[in-house]
Amino acid sequence: MIRKFIRWFISPSQKPIIEDIDVYSKLVELEEKYNCLLHDVKRLEEENIETTNNLYELQNSIEAVDTRIDILSVEAFTKNV
């Protein structure tokens, strides 16, 4: 993937070189894209935290059920003996 990016980056541009580039408008456009991406990253981090918390809750529930099964199986075994 990095190789593909490097090839793309080094390859000659298909667009003609234009002398009249409005740097300020490009800067504003890049800043807007950056802010959108930053917002997406924050949202994904929050989702990741929420997913991790849910996984820990599920793990704890499974361990509790497993422990309860062990207790019940020992009680059943001691009653039969």
Q: 10-56: per-residue pLDDT in tens?
A: 777 666 556 567 788 889 999 999 999 999 999 999 999 999 999 99
Going from the C-alpha of 35 to that of each of 15, 18, 40, 45, the distances in angstroms are: 27, 27, 9, 15
Average pLDDT value for residue range 48-75? 92
**Letter for the amino acid at 31?**
E
Tell if the pTM clears 0.85, that is, is over it. Answer: no
- Split at pLDDT 50, 70, 90, the class of 9 is confident
Residue 69 φ then ψ, to 5°:
-60, -45
- CA pair distance 45, 43, nearest whole angstrom: 5
Higher pLDDT, 37 or 75: 37
Using CA of residue 13, residue 14, residue 20, residue 21, what is the dihedral sign? negative
